[in-house]
Structure 1
């Protein structure tokens, strides 16, 4: 197999450099012949393109493509279109992987094909109906991101998420790639996952393919942007439901009376919010517990998500 690692990026030059250096330092394996790194710049304004062009000799596997700012879905689609590999690996540009990352995905794909056998195979020359999903560990350690241990909060039950996934390009193309209607934040990968599941693809967990997802240490200054993302997530969640009006999707986007009652109750009808909880959050940060502070903030952030879902759904019904 030949890997094409597709990475959309937007204004993340410092961590992207760590991401690409880690991918250039991969152990070889007889299971894959070679690999390329397809970086799609989504209209960055921080000098990402100029930096990559000037330092291209440091990244021999990298192929750079650019587009106007259209969102991650369009960027990933362009990456798949330009890729030459038969197997696509999606990661985000703030992910730093270990040196066995590609080898681990190759071994899991190979083992999955052997274990699932003909039950995983399509007709004719179609590749096996499976994909591998690696582990993502969140960290705010910029200097040494791979030193972060796995935490309970890093667990993901997602079926298909583009933070760390390997799949035959055949199935991406058969499913129709990403829906570029998801121009705001959230859900474009899980929506594609619904279509892949309908094609009968099996998820193979690949815990040895570890990626460390870096983000700055949590602070009060980040909260307005986080609220905006949750509102975008809510709006895109309604688009997700309109495409797949099922109970499972309703549960995922939290468009149920249970979710509404839960977050209305936990926030006392929105009274526990970014203003009233700021002193507690700041105190936790000062105590050296930014991750706990972020989890506390998730109480009102989820309330914003659910409210945005219901507001967007009401607007769609009026239209």
Structure 2
């Protein structure tokens, strides 16, 4: 197996540096892994990402550039530029362990012996705020993911990506482009194989109240792409994923008192928690109204799509 690790990035230089340096330290059995390359696709960064990549001297790293078109287009470009017969997708804020490649390779080999070629492996993602030592974070219940295909840590044969048509580049805003591809991979009969030994530590800064406008905008984007996801795959399973059901509308509406609990009314409590080192709890409380924003904007975006369809 020869792996191409595809990493889209946009203005994340400090953690991207840790991500790429960790990938330089991979240890693997050469009888199973022929080698690997790292494809970094810069999605129009405005920080010093490209300058650092040009001067870093990382022999395995190949750099591709595109205008800011989103992660779907970036991943497609990375796959097109790759030499590997096996593709690994990770995010640029993920720091992996030294056995990361070996773990994916072993799991792919064992799964193919058992079930044939229609498999892909899904590694473990541990969320952390620890920038200095991200790999010191323990696995937590909140790190569990039931996603079928999520590009934070996944390995798949290149030919299945080509057979599926790749990522849909209409998903330019935040959210759902990987799960949408997962629907098409499932239609091709691919089996998900969990690979907890392939661990990636997903770093994000500790929550601060000042981040709320950005987080709210992200939920608005998620709502718009969620409506597009359902338009493309109008199934009940997708409705559940994007929370476009009366149950979700009722749930988040009740929990936020119809939106009365929001970033303004909860700001004093959230600031108090953050000041006392309880930023994780503050973020979990914020998810109440963040989910409410996502549900509302999904329904609003769906109404717009329906109106556009009636107008055509």
TM-score interval w.r.t. the shorter chain?
A: over 0.9
Segment of structure 1 superposing worse, 60-69 or 276-285 = 276-285
In the alignment, what sits opposite 2:59?
A: 60
What is aligned with 1:123? none
Q: Deviations over 1:84-129 (max 9, x none)?
A: 000000000000000000000001001111222xxx3xxxxxxx00
User: Following the alignment from structure 2 to structure 1, what is the Cα–Cα distance between the partners of residues 61 and 201?
Assistant: 20
1:287 offset after TM fit, Å? 2.0
Rounded to whole Å, the distance in 2 between the matches of 1:113 and 1:235 is 37
Which residue does the alignment assign to 1:76?
A: 75
CA RMSD for the aligned pairs? Answer: 0.6
Cross-structure match for 1:5: 5
Which of these residues, 155, 160, 170, is aligned with residue 171 of structure 1? 160
1:125 alignment partner in structure 2: none
- In 2, Cα distance between equivalents of 1:235 and 1:132: 29
Partner of 2:114: 115
Give the Cα–Cα distance (whole angstroms) in 2 for the partners of residues 115 and 274 of structure 1: 50
**Counterpart position of 2:177:** 188
Within a 5 Å distance, the mapping from 1:35-184 to structure 2 comes to 35-55=36-56, 57=57, 59-116=58-115, 120=116, 128-184=117-173
- The answer for unaligned runs of 5 or more in structure 2 is none
Q: Which residue of 1 aligns with 2:229?
A: 240
Q: Distance in 1 between matches of 2:26 and 2:92?
A: 17
SS in 1 for 2:114: helix
**Aligned partners of 1:110 and 1:316: how far apart in 2?**
43
TM-score, normalising length: structure 1: 0.95
- Following superposition, the deviation at residue 281 of structure 1 comes to 1.1
Any idea what the Cα deviations from partners look like across 1:161-197, whole Å, max 9, x if unmatched? 0000000000000000000000100000000000000
**Counterpart-to-counterpart distance in 2, 1:108 and 1:283:** 45
Matching of residue 310 in structure 1 with residue 309 in structure 2? no
How far off its partner does 1:294 sit? 0.4
Q: Which residue matches 1:220?
A: 209
* Structure-1 separation of matches of 2:54 and 2:28: 26
Which of structure 1's runs of 4+ aligned residues deviate more than 6 A? none
Counterparts of 2:212 and 2:106 in 1: how far apart (Å)?
A: 40
Figure out how many residues of one structure are paired with residues of the other and give that number.
307
Q: The residue matched to 1:167 in structure 2 has which SS?
A: strand
Q: What are the ranges of 5 or more consecutive residues in structure 1 without an aligned counterpart?
A: 121-127
